[in-house]
Amino acid sequence: MADRRTVDELTIEELEQLLLIKRRQARQESLRRLAGQGRLAGQSPMLAEAPKPLASAGSRFHSPNVQPWSGGSSTPSKGGRLRDRLLLGLEITALVGLIAVLVGSYANLQLLNNEVAVAREMPTAVAAAAATPTPLVNFDRLPGGHTSPRSPGGAVPDVPAHLQQWVQPAPLQPVPTPSAALPTRIVIPAIGIDAPIVNGVTWDDLKKGVGHLPGSANPGERGNMYLAAHNDIFGEIFRDLEKLELGDEFTIYSGDQPYRYVVTSKRVIDPTDVSVMYSSTEPIATLQTCYPYLVDTYRLVVVGELAR
C-alpha cells in the first residue's frame, strides 16, 4: 500500500531521501536520452541501475542505492589551506596598495589646489602692494618718543643708551615766517590749545611747538597734513589731545588764513605703525602725540577732515 501522507507529515530525513531519489532518477533519464542520441561515449554505470520507485508504505523512502545525508563537510587539504592563505595575503596586499595610492592621490590633489590658490592670489597681492601708498619720509617709528619724565634722568629721546653720547642737538631753527602755504598755528578750542607750528618733527623741532612733517600736505590741500607734539614735556602742547571727541573742531592757520577741520576718528596705535603718515586722497589733518601720559609706550592719533 502506498504511503499517502502529505509533505507536511514527512520528516526532514524522509524529505531529504526523497529529494536524492528524484535527483538520481533525473540524472538517469538524462543519461538515457543522451545515449539514445549517440552523444554519450561509453557506458555509464548509472544506466545499468534500474529506476527505483519513489516510495512505498513499507520502504519509508529507504533505498539501498541512496545514502542518507550526513550534513558534514569535507576537511580541506594542506595544499588547499596554503593556497587560501596565499590568496588572502595577495588580496590584503592589493588592498593596502590601493589605499596607499588613494592617500597619495589625495595629498597630490591638495598640493595642486594650494599651488593654484597661491597662483591666483599672487596677482592680487602684487596689485595691492603696488597700490599701497608709501610714507612721505622713510620713518620706522612715529616721532615724539622718549622715556617718561618721571624716570631717572628725565625725558630722553628713544635712542639706544650706547649711542646717546653721539647724538648732538640740532642747531636751533627759526620759526618759519607766515606764508600762504605752510601751516603756522593750530587752535583747538575744546582743549584750550593755541600753539605755533614749526617745520619738522625731530626731537629738537618738537621742543619749539607742534611739528609739521616735511612733505606732507599744507592747510586746505588734498592729502594728509601730519602734525606731532609732546604731551608731557616741552610745554605739554598735546597733553589733553585724548579728550577730543568725534565732531569737535580745530583750526589750522597758514599765515592769516584759517582752515577748519572736524574730528572724524581717534585711536591708539603702536609706535611702529607708520601707516598713519601715508598720503590721502582727501584733505585731512592727522594730530599725533605719545600715550599714555608719562608712560609714552604708544601713540595717540586724532584725524580731522577739512570742513567744506
The 10s digit of each residue's pLDDT in 197-245 is 999 999 889 999 999 999 999 999 999 999 999 999 999 999 999 999 9
pLDDT digits (tens, 9 = 90+) for 73-97: 456 677 778 888 888 888 999 999 9
Rounded CA-CA distance 220/282 in Å is: 10
The pLDDT of residue 72:
46
Rounded CA-CA distance 286/213 in Å is: 10
| 175-201 average pLDDT score | 85
CB-CB contact of 228 with 216 (8 Å): no
The pLDDT of residue 217:
95
3-state secondary structure of 169: coil
Grid coordinates in use for 267? 585711536
Q: How confident is the model at residue 138 (pLDDT cuts 50, 70, 90)?
A: low
The pLDDT of residue 216:
95
Q: Which of 232, 225, 200 is nearest to 303 (CA)?
A: 225
Confidence (pTM) = 0.51
pLDDT digits (tens, 9 = 90+) for 34-79: 777 776 655 666 556 655 554 444 444 444 444 444 444 456 677 7
Rounded CA-CA distance 217/242 in Å is: 23
Strand partners, 146: 157
Label residue 186 exposed, middle or buried (CB < 10 Å: 0-12, 13-18, 19+): buried
Residue 71, CA distances (Å) to 13, 60, 184, 225 in order: 11, 20, 114, 103
Helix (H) or strand (E) holding 304: strand 298-306
Output the CA torsion 136→158→276→178 (10° steps): -60
DSSP state letter for 146: B
The pLDDT of residue 156:
75
List the domains of the chain with CATH numbers: 1-69 (no CATH), 174-306 (2.40.260.10)
**Amino acid identity for residue 179 in this structure:** S
Tally of CB atoms within 10 A around 304: 25
Grid coordinates in use for 250? 580745530
Residues recognised as catalytic: 230, 290
